[in-house]
Structure 1
Amino acid sequence: MSTSTAPPDPTPEQLKAQKEKEEAEQAALPYKWTQTISDVDITVPVPAGTRSRDLVVGLKLDSLKVALKGQDALLEGSMYKPIALDDSTWSLVDQRTVEIHIEKQNKMEWWPHVLTHHPKIDVTKIQPENSKLSELDGETRGMVEKMMYDQRQKEMGLPTSEEQKKVDMLKKFQQQHPEMDFSKAKISM
């Protein structure tokens, strides 16, 4: 019988080296980017005096291109995940920066990179800013509250909301059909 051991936790020196490498890779990109759990903002520098008619910006469901007309692309490639195209925009700011706002289709996922051929960041190190449940839209708030409830239930060894629905449906069915024998019924969760 073989036993496998997990790799040892990285030392502080290794963590520092990983962080420096990641920062250097990101600094070398032809753009800067930030993200929240639901969107990505990209800033692409262009020559001073650039006008929007000088630009070719292709924002598609799963790809992105930023170029000056008649020149090689400043930025081009496949995006990490599909975007909500109708809610994503770009603009030219001060004739020197293209700002692109991308709404993620999956608003519950961190992106390790914007374009798939660029270096990744370690998304496990992301520290999201705390938000209050009251600040979330109704659908997101409901989803977060359900996830929190289900997590608490699991920790206490109790059924999750979905499991409880099944139990409740079975009880209701049993009440409606007292003539049936459920003593040997097996319920899987």
Structure 2
Amino acid sequence: MSEQPVDPLSSVERAAKEAQEKLEKQKEEEEQSQLPYVWKQTLQDVDITIPVPKGTRGRDLEVVLKKNQFKVGLKGKTPIVEGELCQTIKVDDSTWTLEDQKEVLVHLEKLNQMQWWENVVKGAPKINTQKIQPENSQLGDLDGETRAMVEKMMFDQRQKAMGKPDSDALKKEEMFAKFKKQHPEMDFSNAKFTNE
């Protein structure tokens, strides 16, 4: 069996794409490191760590968590972070604590738990949500309905990447095949199958 010759253009294009992605990732990391806080997220929530001067007490802080507003700072000083949240949160399930008198830990519970956030507050540097690698171990933490939906989305994404039909198209094809079997007297030679 002979090997197919490697198309030099595709390897050049691939290298260029990888270099471009590396530059974008470096730029994103640089922008994120300039923020006065560090943040991470799951589909359900966002956790933010905000350094404050050592010895800070809870009464020295001004923390505002509203449906679309976010503010953390020392009373009487310019806020460390303030702005409109990029997405809506569940205020009753969101919390903040002062850890070791040197950092404020903020936990925001997302209202839409099927969407990745590009940033915490509008106007802050964005991250590329297409590059997020969700932790697979968390799939088991989801309730049955949500897990089934996420697994379906992941299957459809893989099928699309391979140029194959998604689960809905496969289901339609299966139903059409059953219908044809049940009605052999009908002529399906001119039948058109659309995915809408």
Q: Which string of whole-angstrom CA distances, capped at 9 and with x for unpartnered residues, describes residues 23-78 of structure 1?
A: 00000000000000111000000000000000000011001000101101000000
Q: Against the structure 1 CA distance between its residues 11 and 99, is the aligned structure 2 distance closer, same or farther, given a 3 Å change threshold?
A: same
Matched residues in 2 for 1:149 and 1:12: separation?
A: 25
TM-score by length of 1: 0.72
Give structure 1 regions of 4+ aligned residues with deviation exceeding 6 angstroms. Answer: 148-151
SS at match of 1:11: helix
Runs of 5+ in structure 2 lacking a partner?
1-12, 160-165, 176-195
Question: How many residues end up aligned between the 2 structures?
Answer: 154
User: Within the alignment, does 1:27 sit opposite 2:33 as a pair?
Assistant: yes
Matched residues in 2 for 1:119 and 1:135: separation?
A: 30
| Residue in structure 2 matched with residue 42 of structure 1 by the alignment | 48
Matched residues in 2 for 1:37 and 1:18: separation?
A: 23
| Residue in structure 2 matched with residue 167 of structure 1 by the alignment | none
Identity %: 53
| Residue in structure 1 matched with residue 98 of structure 2 by the alignment | 92
SS at match of 1:159: helix
Query: Structure 1 residue 132: deviation in Å?
Result: 6.3
Q: Which string of whole-angstrom CA distances, capped at 9 and with x for unpartnered residues, describes residues 107-155 of structure 1?
A: 0100010011101000000010113654322442354467679986424
Query: Structure 1 residue 16: deviation in Å?
Result: 1.3
Matched residues in 1 for 2:116 and 2:57: separation?
A: 33
User: Within the alignment, does 1:117 sit opposite 2:117 as a pair?
Assistant: no
Matched residues in 1 for 2:69 and 2:118: separation?
A: 16
User: Within the alignment, does 1:129 sit opposite 2:135 as a pair?
Assistant: yes
SS at match of 2:136: coil
Q: Against the structure 1 CA distance between its residues 148 and 98, is the aligned structure 2 distance closer, same or farther, given a 3 Å change threshold?
A: closer
SS at match of 2:28: helix
| Residue in structure 2 matched with residue 159 of structure 1 by the alignment | 172
Runs of 5+ in structure 1 lacking a partner?
1-7, 165-188
Which residue among 16, 21, 33 is the counterpart of 1:15? 21
